[in-house]
Amino acid sequence: MPSRGQVDGGWWPRSADLAKQLPAVAAALREAVEPLSRVAYHLDTWGPTARIARAETRTVRLEGVRSTDPNTITALGPDSRRVSMLVVPTETPGGMARAVLRSAADRGFHRHGLGKPGRQRPPRATDGLPDA
């Protein structure tokens, strides 16, 4: 799990149903953690959820833990590649949520080399959402 304060990007889910939101996360992280095999989340942050879910054509294991920051999820691939995402609560107003996501992405993607010139940045969870 990431050290406190270190994230690779941000995610603003549309609902508190982690299993339902999983396909969007898998698609956004396709280049960084392909194929997605597990997602670790804080048990007290998310409501009851299935232990496995479908994302694209894969089955993904959802692992609820209490040893991680409650404001993050960690996506893992089968080769132990991992991406830590800051989770912006669903009820956060649009402008504030987008500012938090931009800040998380700018710091995290550069830290891992994903934002260097000549490399395509992974899509943000807000791509395609209307500005508020």
Query: pLDDT tens digits, the chain, 132 residues: what are they?
Result: 444 458 888 889 988 899 999 998 888 888 888 889 999 999 998 878 899 999 888 899 999 999 989 999 999 998 888 999 999 999 999 999 999 888 887 755 433 333 332 333 344 444 434 444
pLDDT at 19: 92
Q: How many angstroms separate the Cα of 82 from the Cα of each of 12, 68, 86, 110, 119?
A: 19, 14, 13, 15, 18
Tell me phi and psi for residue 9, to 5 degrees: 175, -170
CA R_g for the chain:
14
Q: What is the C-alpha to C-alpha distance for residues 31 and 77, in angstroms, rounded to an integer?
A: 11
Locate 115 and state its tokens.
Answer: 């934002």
pLDDT at 93: 94
pLDDT at 37: 92
Give 77's DSSP letter.
-
pLDDT at 5: 52
pLDDT at 4: 46
Locate 103 and state its tokens.
Answer: 């800040």
pLDDT at 109: 43
Nearest of 82, 83, 86, 81 to residue 70 by alpha carbon: 86
pLDDT at 51: 93
What is the pairing mode between strands 58-65 and 38-42? parallel
Residue type at position 42: H
Locate 89 and state its tokens.
Answer: 């609560």
pLDDT at 114: 34
Nearest of 59, 29, 56 to residue 127 by alpha carbon: 29
